[in-house]
Amino acid sequence: MTVGSDPELLAFAGRLLERHGGLIEPGEDRLLTLLPPELAQVLEAPEESEIGGEEFPLLYGSPLLDRLVHLATRDAPVAYGQINFSYLKKAGFEQLLGQELIFSGANVRLASRAEARSTYLVLICHYVALSDERKEGLIRLGLHEGSGALIPELPDLWEAANPQFFPVAKAPPHFPVRLAAVLKYGLQHAPGAVERELQDFLASMRRRLHRDVKNTREYYEALRLEMEAGLGHPQLTDSQRQERAAKIAALPQEMARKITDLEQKYRVRVTISAGAAVRLLVDVVQLLLELEVHRVLRSVTVIWNPLTRRLDPLVCESCRQAMEKVYPTPLHGRIQLLCFACSRRSSGQGSGVS
Ligand SMILES: [Zn+2]
């Protein structure tokens, strides 16, 4: 059998493997490779192998290609930029507090306002969905680095604000050193975003599964009727009749097996990896709010974001979901900022409002 690797894929693999210390000898439709042990382990291939050959075919959808793509994005490049605004909103924040950010059941007072800087992350993720077909693409997520709050409009807005980029070594010290926590928040949001992106693809797989299952059921029903009709044939011996009756009895099981196979065939497996990240230092307005719930006080900092021209959402202090409607809930003498579901759960424990 000839495998017929795609020349573009072979070229991509060759460049990538060389960059990771592999030795490559390109053949007509495959690559002879000598890989350093660590690289061979990552790719789950022997140190000496023929990539693109029958043993390691390099095709869309092949596990080897997935591992190569993972390798290519493992060390996602990070760019650093700054966005300055010569004019920031100065007034009218009280009004936004009842509209863009709502604190349910709390007295809210705007204590102070200051111009500040905050850091944001635009995370670009690559996804591959494998089912009866393959689909891949990119999604972009915007997050506030400090809180991990998802800011859905950010990926569409930051470029138009003309960021100034820095070489990594000269990035200003404002960025939190550890990116891991923000990346984790980002990757938590990625599956939902990919699912929205794949809506049509998922629907198409579901439709095909439904169609094939329906056809399978109809086929087995017709087969059963035909076989049952055949049982009445006068020339059948008793043992032949028993044999056929047993076959009929086994049909539902056989059909169930076929349907399980179909479900496997149309199951969608998605892999997501971080492709690249842009970290942005942005001029913002920081508002200090004083909240009061049942005579318990707490101050809260919120950000007016000049990119989205609105207040950034806050994050539930229990489940980390971004929220525009906040349920400040007194708990052990302290106000917690919770989403509706978490505030319900918390007052259900009877530990809340006194
Ligand atoms: Zn919550």
C-alpha 347 to ligand 1 mean position (Å): 13
For residues 234-247, give the mean pLDDT. Answer: 90
Say whether pLDDT at 177 is over 70: no
Structure confidence by residue, pLDDT tens digits, 19-39: 788 898 888 788 899 998 888
Q: Is the pLDDT of residue 353 over 70?
A: no
Question: Measuring CA to CA, how many Å separate 219 from each of 111, 205, 263?
Answer: 73, 21, 17
- In the chain, where are the structural domains located? 7-74, 78-198+271-348, 200-267
Sheet holding 102-103, edge to edge: 102-103, 325-331, 334-338
Mean per-residue pLDDT, 143-167: 91
CA of 317 to the centre of ligand 1 (A): 7
Distances (CA, A) of 353 to 103, 185, 332: 16, 30, 9
pLDDT of residue 10: 82
How far is 290 from 303, CA to CA, in rounded Å?
A: 14
> Who has greater pLDDT, 210 or 67?
210
Ligand 1 mean position, distance from CA 343 (Å) = 7
Cβ–Cβ under 8 Å, residues 305 and 282: yes
Question: How many whole angstroms from 118 Cα to the centroid of ligand 1?
Answer: 24
Q: Which of 11-25, 84-98, 179-193, 300-314 has the highest mean pLDDT?
A: 300-314
Work out the pLDDT band at 285, boundaries 50, 70, 90.
very high
Instruction: Name every residue whose Cβ is closer than 8 Å to that of residue 266 and which is 6 or more positions away in sequence.
Output: 131, 132, 205, 206, 208, 209, 212
pTM over 0.75: no
Pairwise CA distance, residues 318 & 87, whole Å: 35
Distance 278 CA to ligand 1 centre (A): 28
Q: Nearest CA to 42 among 22, 57, 14, 59? A: 22
* 63 secondary structure, DSSP code: H
Q: Is the pLDDT of residue 60 over 90?
A: no
Rounded Cα–Cα distance for residues 196 and 228 (Å): 47
Judge whether residue 349 has pLDDT over 80.
no
Instruction: Please report which confidence band the pLDDT of residue 3 belongs to, taking 50, 70 and 90 as the band edges.
Output: very low
Residue 316 CA, ligand 1 centroid: distance in Å: 5
| Tens-place pLDDT, residues 110-143 | 999 999 999 999 988 888 899 989 999 999 999 9
Task: Please give the distance, rounded to the nearest whole angstrom, from the Cα atom of residue 346 to the centre of ligand 1.
Answer: 10
- 9 vs 291 pLDDT, higher one: 291
How many angstroms is it from 339 CA to the middle of ligand 1? 4
Gyration radius of the chain over CA positions: 30
- Ligand 1 centroid distance, CA of 338 (Å): 5
Q: How many angstroms is it from 329 CA to the middle of ligand 1?
A: 11
Q: Is the dihedral of CA 300, 305, 310, 313 positive or negative?
A: negative
Q: How far is the centre of ligand 1, averaged over its atoms, from the C-alpha of 141 (Å)?
A: 20
Mean pLDDT over each residue of the chain, to the nearest integer: 87
Return the pLDDT at 272.
Answer: 81
The pLDDT of residue 5: 67
Centre of ligand 1 to C-alpha 223, Å, is 54
Residue 327 · residue 104 · CB < 8 Å: yes
In the prediction, which pLDDT does 7 show? 74
Residue type for 151, please?
I
Asked if residue 168 has pLDDT above 60, the reply is: yes
- 102 CA → ligand 1 middle, Å: 15
Higher pLDDT, 353 or 203: 203
The CA 150 to ligand 1 mean position distance, Å, reads 14
Mean pLDDT calculated for residue range 200-214? 96
Task: Output the pLDDT for position 72.
Answer: 65
Give residue 321 CA to ligand 1 midpoint distance, Å: 6
**Distance separating alpha carbons of residues 164 and 144, to the nearest angstrom:** 19
**Interval between CA 203 and ligand 1 midpoint (Å):** 30
Q: Is pLDDT above 50 for 1?
A: no
Q: What's the CA-to-centroid distance between 285 and ligand 1, angstroms?
A: 26
Hey, what are 46's tokens?
């022997």
> What share of the chain has pLDDT > 70, as a percent?
92
Distance in Å, CA 345 to ligand 1 centroid = 9
Q: What is the pLDDT of residues 94-115, one digit of tens each?
A: 889 889 999 999 999 999 999 9
